[in-house]
Chains A and B, each alone.
Chain A
Amino acid sequence: MEMLKIENLHAEIAGKEILKGINLQIEAGTVHAIMGPNGSGKSTLSNVLSGHPAYTVTEGKVTFKGKDLLALPVENRSHEGLFMSFQYPVEIPGVSMTNFMRTAINEKRRYLGQEPMSPTDFLKLMKQKRDLVKLDAKFMNRSVNEGFSGGEKKRNEIFQMAVLEPSLSILDETDSGLDIDALRIVAEGVNSLKTPETSALVITHYQRLLDYIKPDVVHVLYAGRIIRTAGPELALELEERGYDWLIREFEEKNS
């Protein structure tokens, strides 16, 4: 089943074109990795998919579970099952994790025509999902991400992902700023959420994360285009040889 289909996607920010015709198709049950050098448009792609207001789509089409993704407001993309794990999770002083999660859950349930979750079920769900990423109970009373360590912030992202049970998770540089233990906890969290009905799009600089989250397909993004798509062995090759050879090939082909 087709989860996400991106066709000829062009997008710009402040008048500068960043994505210059992306084509990508993700099937349900698969993990795709997007790699590429700095400034190639990886984060722009995840921001455009989740609906960041600073980016403008100038051309192209994105279909998510059969729906026109780009026509949906940000929160409805989330309700439909799109989740983006932020590269830099935002601190929200004064809004407790409990309040934040309860609001997020009940807004989704409202969208789906369901009753708000009972307090007992909510507490049970929170505990179950916290255990998955080893966050202790005290953390629910803290303000969202405020004063969290780098590792806690990323674990919090995976915790929220586990609670919201998205169909498609975009992990934007989830490995950045993580030590090896935190990386393992995050990766185990992601892996345990994997089902034949869900997909993940893993954006990363390094092969390291892909040792833990095994991709089915690897794409290389450069200058706003996907310049190579291959199996997981491509990530290993990139780790060894860098991006230069691919970029050279791409430029020779286009000159």
Chain B
Amino acid sequence: MSETNYSEIFIANRSLIDAGSSPVMSALRDRAYDCYTRYGLPGTKVEEYLHTDIGAWFGPDWGVNLKRVALPVNPSEAFRCNVPNLSTQMHFMAGDSYLKKDGQPSLPDGVLCGSLLELSESNPDIVSRYLGTLADMEKPGIAALNTMFMQDGFMVYVPRNVQIEKPVQLVSLMTDAVPMLACRRILVVLEQGASLKLLLCDHSSAGSQCMSMTVTECFVADNASLEIYDLEETSDRNTRVMECYVSQQRDSRVMIQNLSLHNGKTRNSVFSCFKGPGASFEVNGIAITDGQQHVDNFTFVDHEATDCESRELFKYVLDGQSTGSFAGKVLVRHGAQRTVSQQTNRNICLTADSRMWTQPQLEIYADDVKCSHGATVGQLDEKALFYMQQRGIPMKEARMLLMLAFLGEVIDRIPLDSLRARLLGLVELRLRHGQSRCEGCGVCK
């Protein structure tokens, strides 16, 4: 299937798409279609996609679940949460449909949390104020295509000064029943002084080939605080493209962690923009790859306002013939004085056949700033390995300790103790068992 075919499918099935959706969503589709026909999906000729051919990923004939057929998934069977010290508010998505589940503990008054489809019908005012206003469709990417086909997804709205202490967890499942393209949309809105921790667990059964495209929009108002942990534990046959847009007002704080523990082919793009002064943004990531896996992280941090701080730390460990790419762009606009920005990308290629591309970029148009970036690609420290072996630690274990220490620096930045310990355990499990993966959601299992 080529790019034009998505246009044809869209035209031919427009009424079906609208029927399985809400007026608020459908109102965005004409412009999305227009943008899509103008910009299309990015190929490797677009600089931001040099090493990841998104256009080709959309090539296979993925089915899109336009009729909203319920997928055969029983989340409470597949995922039993028994993690000590990590209790979350759990929500599920099968393919791209939100799964209704009974017995959710109640959230504070005014909080909206659940199906984007339902909430856009019950609260059209709030949803229409935000949905589609941040995702940039005026460029090659997936925002336009996602908007054309979106029918459901997930939404959290936190009113003014409400702090949700317990993390909200969204487990997204792909079933192995049919190969399909899941078109997911996530909307996160934090009003002034609100706070939210969001844990996104992305899973798929290893059986058949699946693809997910997710567009997330996060609106973070004055003095609000948002943490997002996006954990991918899918399969070798899974393809994932994700675009996350963040807009931050005065004195707000945002942290995003993209953790690619197991995947097939993945592209994560994070676009953040400071709209008010005094805000801080942190985006970190790890990728552990082997076999033919591919992980590409792209970040764009737009320092529009003064006195903001951004931090980035991405680390990859690549084994087998896997490939990785990181490109990070920091733009400090004219007048964005006293900006502090730090970007680091460090990578370890365990084999001669693994490949890593890294491209840090800084563009500065203000004169009173403190910005740094650095990138390295290397191997495990042989001197350290020998030193550890001399003390009786076998090579395999010594390598494990070095890799854990290397990736641990990213995990250490997670403020939530229980989650940090849990994720470190998952990283160790992944490193120890190589290609094998834990069944289902490691966080909630």
Contacts and interface: CB of A to CB of B under 8 A. Distances in A.
Given A90-B384, A100-B401, A74 B408 contact: no
A108 B392 contact: yes
B386 A74 contact: yes
Interface stretch (A91-99, A121-129, A208-216): A91-99
Contact of A53 (B386, B397, B404): B386
Contacts of A100: 388, 391, 393, 401
Interface in B370-404: 381-384, 386-395, 397, 401-402, 404
A79 interface: yes
A93 B405 contact: yes
A89 interface: yes
Given A89-B387, A103-B397, A111 B392 contact: yes
Contacts of B405: 92-95, 143
B284 to A, nearest CB: 15
B374 to A, nearest CB: 15
B353 interface: no
Interface string A69-86: 000011101110001101
Contact of A103 (B381, B384, B387, B401): B401
A56 B394 CA distance: 20
Contacts of A51: 389-390
Nearest to A90: B387
A93 B403 CA distance: 11
Contact of B392 (A93, A94, A107): A107
Contacts of A78: 389-392
A238 interface: no
B392 A79 contact: yes
- The main secondary structure of chain B at its interface with chain A is helix
Given A52-B386, A90-B387, A104 B392 contact: yes
Interface string A135-159: 0000000010000000000000000
Interface string A43-69: 000000011110000000000000000
A234 interface: no
25 contacts: A51-B390, A53-B382, A53-B386, A75-B390, A75-B395, A77-B390, A83-B390, A86-B390, A90-B383, A90-B386, A90-B387, A92-B387, A92-B388, A94-B404, A95-B401, A95-B402, A100-B388, A100-B391, A100-B393, A103-B393, A104-B388, A104-B393, A107-B393, A107-B397, A160-B391
A72 to B, nearest CB: 11
Contacts of A94: 402, 404-406, 408-409
A6 B405 CA distance: 38
Range, interface on chain A: 20 to 34
Range, interface on chain B: 20 to 34
A108 B384 CA distance: 19
Contacts of A53: 382, 386
Nearest to A80: B392
A86 B383 CA distance: 11
A193 B334 CA distance: 66
Contacts of A52: 386
A45 to B, nearest CB: 15
Which 7 A-B residue pairings sit nearest by Cβ, starting from the closest? A94-B405, A78-B392, A74-B389, A90-B387, A104-B391, A95-B405, A75-B394
> Which residue among B386, B390, B405 has the maximum number of chain A CB atoms within 10 Å of its CB?
B390
A164 interface: yes
Contacts of A160: 391
A91 B388 CA distance: 11
B392 A164 contact: yes
Contacts of A75: 389-390, 392-395
Contacts of B409: 94
B332 to A, nearest CB: 30
A120 to B, nearest CB: 22
Contacts of B406: 94
Given A91-B384, A92-B402, 16 more contacts: A51-B390, A52-B386, A73-B395, A74-B386, A74-B395, A79-B392, A84-B390, A86-B387, A90-B383, A92-B381, A100-B393, A104-B391, A104-B392, A107-B392, A107-B397, A164-B391
Contacts of A107: 392-394, 397
A140 B397 CA distance: 20
